[in-house]
Amino acid sequence: MQGFKLAFNYLRIGILNEFQYRANLYIQILQTFIALGTGLIGLSLVFSQTKSLGGWSEPELLAVMGVFVITGGIIRSAIQPNMERLMEEIQEGTLDYALTKPADAQLLVSVREFRLWQLVDVVTGLIILVIALNQMNWSISIWSVLGFLSALFMGAVMIYSFWLIITSTAFWFIRVHEIANLFEGLYAAGRWPLDIYPNWLKYGLTFLVPVAFAISVPSEALTGRLTLQTWLGALALTTFLFILSRTIWKIGLKNYSGASA
């Protein structure tokens, strides 16, 4: 309960902070449109050559793109800023300030930053999703909505855990600016449904799994492809990743010696 209150307070401060820089909202909108434009061009290039890709039609892939944009917005508003700040503080030794506080350190480092304007992506993604579902003549069923929302939530937790794991490597390998780059490269894989990747790539690259899963499973829920097995699999993977990330974080923390900031 205490934790929720803490997270909520940080959220409020984050939002107030963002309101000081309103011009950034317009810049964010511009950037979202640029990213959207390139995404749509990529999609239209593929579909100018073919009718379906790995069994997915154009509106279905548009829905995948919607999920991709929504998830991207969640990552960049709530997950990535926290993890980047954490990396910086590990590198500079200023993490001490967070560790000396009485709250749970993992919770604290995960809620300190919030970028409100990045939610433009979430809104845009939702609009894309509605357009795509409209093109698919989608009929709302309570199960697909529940499946979608739960999968989206699990996706966010998976990506958070994944980020925390790679960020925790900063305790051992100080220079980690490249990690953000690594994540972005892998995240781009989520633009396309998992079906099109060859099996060895799908299962072999453990790196790719949480990322692609996070976007694939909600998309599958929307397009009527989600089976109970996949959903349970996602649940198991989410739980596993979450526990793993906490373990690695704890071990890493023991390794942290500070630099007397």
Partner 1 sequence: MKRHLDYYLSEMRISILEQWQYPLANYFYMIGMIAEPVIYMVVWSAVANQQGGMVGGYTPATFAAYYIVWTLVRQMNIAFTPYGWERRIRNGRLSMNLLRPLHPLHHDVAFFAGWKVVNIILWLPLAFVLSLIFKPDLNPTWLEGIVFFFAIWMTYLIRTITLSLLGMVTFWTTRVSALFELYFAAELILSGRLVPLSLMPVWVQELAWFFPFRWTFGFPIEVLVGQMTTYEMLSGLGMQLAWIIFGGIVVNIVWKFAIRRFSAVGG
| Among the listed residues 185, 236, 243, 247, the single contact to partner 1 using CB under 8 A | 185
Q: What is the dihedral of CA 94, 95, 100, 102, to 10 degrees?
A: 140
Asked if 92 is part of the footprint of partner 1 (rule: CB under 8 A), the reply reads no
Report the greatest alpha carbon distance in the chain: 60
- Contact at 8 Å (CB) between 132 and 59? yes
Q: Which amino acid belongs to residue 53?
A: L
| Among the listed residues 197, 213, 249, 256, the single contact to partner 1 using CB under 8 A | 197
Please state the length of the chain: 261
Asked if 40 is part of the footprint of partner 1 (rule: CB under 8 A), the reply reads no
C-alpha 46/C-alpha 38 separation (Å) is 13
Region from 7-15, 48-56, 117-125, 221-229 binding partner 1, contact rule CB under 8 A: 48-56
Region from 49-57, 89-97, 145-153, 227-235 binding partner 1, contact rule CB under 8 A: 49-57
- Contact at 8 Å (CB) between 214 and 156? yes
C-alpha 176/C-alpha 81 separation (Å) is 14
Which CB sits closer to partner 1, 32 or 144?
Answer: 32
Closest separation between CB of residue 9 and partner 1, Å?
A: 29
Closest separation between CB of residue 142 and partner 1, Å?
A: 34
Asked if 236 is part of the footprint of partner 1 (rule: CB under 8 A), the reply reads no
| Among the listed residues 45, 140, 142, 228, the single contact to partner 1 using CB under 8 A | 45
| Among the listed residues 53, 62, 74, 248, the single contact to partner 1 using CB under 8 A | 53
Asked if 1 is part of the footprint of partner 1 (rule: CB under 8 A), the reply reads no
Backbone angles phi, psi at 241, to 5 degrees: -65, -40
Asked if 27 is part of the footprint of partner 1 (rule: CB under 8 A), the reply reads yes
Closest separation between CB of residue 36 and partner 1, Å?
A: 10
C-alpha 28/C-alpha 77 separation (Å) is 12
| Among the listed residues 182, 232, 236, 243, the single contact to partner 1 using CB under 8 A | 182
Kindly give the residue spans of alpha helices, DSSP state H, lying in the chain.
2-19, 23-49, 58-74, 80-92, 96-99, 105-111, 119-135, 142-168, 177-187, 199-204, 208-222, 228-255
List contacts with partner 1 (CB under 8 A): 23, 27, 30-31, 34-35, 37-38, 41-42, 45-46, 49-50, 52-54, 173, 175-179, 181-186, 188-189, 191-192, 196-198, 200-201, 207-208
